[in-house]
Amino acid sequence: FRSTTNLKIQLEADENVLEDVVVVGYGKQSKRNITGAVSNIKSEDIVRSSSTTTAGALAGKVQGISVRAKDARPGRGAAIEIRNMGSPLYVIDGVAYGGQEGTDWVGTQNGSGADIFNSLNLEDIESISILKDAAAAVYGFRASRGVVLITT
């Protein structure tokens, strides 16, 4: 079957200015409605980093976060502390890791011996939210040193 009729279809542009959305423990909120100390890093800022590790990509991007090298061994990456309180709770796509006293989830190794947190592919991360105060309370006692929320 062959048609001699040509269709010309043209889409109209419609622009909407969207607000920044921050993921918190109990859902998503508009950035301007949040009263707690929450910092959000977008995927563009993470990918533009010269670092190859997730922790290294956060260095210098958020106030109150210290990122330091764990040691000189290759693949060990860096450790994160929120307000110098120790290892925070990490929540990746709703699953919590670490945060217990005396544990350092960032130092946990995968099968190849590489640091799990710092092995996350930077291009797979949509956003990282850092909860520094009472905003972390919904995650319980493990979040007493802050929460690093990662959305992939």
32-74 tens-digit pLDDT: 555 567 777 887 887 887 777 777 788 888 888 888 877 777 6
Whether 14 is in a domain gets the answer: no
65 three-state secondary structure = strand
* pTM, rounded to two decimals: 0.67
Total of domains in the chain: 1
Cross-strand partners of 92: 95, 150
Instruction: Give me the CATH number covering residue 77.
Output: 2.170.130.10
Whether 11 is in a domain gets the answer: no
Whether 1 is in a domain gets the answer: no
24, two tokens? 């918190």
Q: Say if residue 117 is exposed, middle or buried (CB neighbours under 10 Å; 0-12, 13-18, 19+).
A: buried
Whether 13 is in a domain gets the answer: no
Which range of residues forms the domain containing residue 89?
Answer: 21-151
